[in-house]
Amino acid sequence: MNFRPTIHAFGAVSLGLAAILMAPGNAFGQFPNYGPGTASYVTEATKYPDAASKPTPHTADGHPDLNGVWHHFFGGLVHPVGEGSFALGLGGGGRPGAAAGGPPPPRPTPDPMPDYKPEVLAKVKYLNDNQVKEDHVLHCMPPGVPRIGAPQEIVQTPKQMVFLYADSTGNYWRVIPLDGRGHSTDPDTDSTYMGDSIGHWDGDTLVVDVTRLTGDTWLADNGLFHSAKLHVTERFRRVGDTINYTMIADDPTILTKPWTIYRTLTLQMDTLDEAAPCVDNDAGHYVNQQHHDNAR
């Protein structure tokens, strides 16, 4: 993959923090599961420390205004280790540096690991051990929901939400209707990377319900796969110039309980740039099986 990501001044849709430390108590010897960009969300939050104390704006219909750029992309999945050779690992920062003479920057905490049923743990281990071959993202395929993470930009209208993403594997969007429709009942409707999303307001919280997700994607890095029965719920609650984002992945086929992660998004004052195309030129040059946490 010839990843040529757009570089921004702030954080990343990607993780670039945990490629060195091993997670204690991790049965597979995986890296800490920092999930999609926890380090970069901290980076962006430090830019606007008083964001949550701002007034919460509303649209003309009375709902919280979710319009704006809420996250950025930077970094990459691979780094050069020699002439024409690449390895998976840190693609560029992701954690804020300490100001001269100031306190150390906040450190993100790892996400909890999904609780897999015992009978599928061997598959998780196999995928983790062979990620550079088995992970479709490393061959320019879409990361899918929920691995792609929270939307980087939201365009809000009374009838729909549009989520925009500039990812290491390309540029993606999701259109979430708010008109009260249900999920498609057409048996011929195929599962997709982004799934079938519908939304509604629960008070001041936007709730997005996602079904029909292809089983070709993973929940996150390190072999954390899911089945085609995956059901994802996303919740967005604006507080000042932040959004409290919750993602719940329910997959009773392989998980013993739903997997939940949280993010705090911070409104960014610049634009979301288009990501460069992803070209699968690197896979034949990987020199080892090393990989880092979720590259979104």
* pLDDT in the model for residue 11: 28
* Lowest mean pLDDT, pick from 79-83, 237-241, 262-266, 278-282: 79-83
At 151-165, the pLDDT tens digits run: 999 999 999 999 999
* pLDDT in the model for residue 94: 42
* pLDDT in the model for residue 33: 43
Where residue 216 falls (left for φ over 0; alpha for ψ -120 to 50; beta otherwise) is alpha
Q: Is-contact 148 251, C-beta < 8 A?
A: no
Q: Record the tokens describing residue 158, joined without a space.
A: 């009374």
Q: Is-contact 296 149, C-beta < 8 A?
A: yes
- Spatial strand order in the sheet of 153-156: 68-69, 153-156, 160-167, 170-177
List, in sequence order, every residue forming a beta bridge with 80; answer none if it has no partner: 86
Confidence of residue 42 (pLDDT cuts 50, 70, 90): confident
How far is CA 177 from its chain centroid?
21
* pLDDT in the model for residue 211: 97
Return the closest-CA partner of residue 243 out of 51, 94, 73. Answer: 51
Where residue 13 falls (left for φ over 0; alpha for ψ -120 to 50; beta otherwise) is alpha
Confidence of residue 289 (pLDDT cuts 50, 70, 90): low
Q: Across the chain, what does the average pLDDT equal?
A: 79
Return the closest-CA partner of residue 153 out of 66, 64, 237, 61. Answer: 66
* pLDDT in the model for residue 174: 98
At 21-30, the pLDDT tens digits run: 223 334 444 4
Interval 231-248 mean pLDDT: 98
How far is CA 8 from its chain centroid?
17
At 257-273, the pLDDT tens digits run: 999 999 999 999 999 98
At 61-112, the pLDDT tens digits run: 999 999 999 998 755 444 444 554 444 443 333 444 555 566 565 566 778 9
Task: Indicate the SS3 state at residue 83.
Answer: coil
Rounded to two decimals, what is the model's pTM? 0.79
Task: Please tell me the distance from the alpha carbon of residue 183 to that of residue 98, in angstroms, as a whole number.
Answer: 47
Rg (CA), the chain: 19
Percent of the chain at pLDDT exceeding 70: 69
Q: Is-contact 91 278, C-beta < 8 A?
A: no
Strands (DSSP E) found in the chain: 68-69, 78-82, 85-88, 153-156, 160-167, 170-177, 196-202, 205-211, 231-239, 242-250, 259-266
Task: Please tell me the distance from the alpha carbon of residue 13 to that of residue 229, in angstroms, as a whole number.
Answer: 26
At 187-227, the pLDDT tens digits run: 888 899 999 999 999 999 999 999 999 999 999 989 999 99
Interval 28-33 mean pLDDT: 41
* pLDDT in the model for residue 103: 59
* pLDDT in the model for residue 99: 52
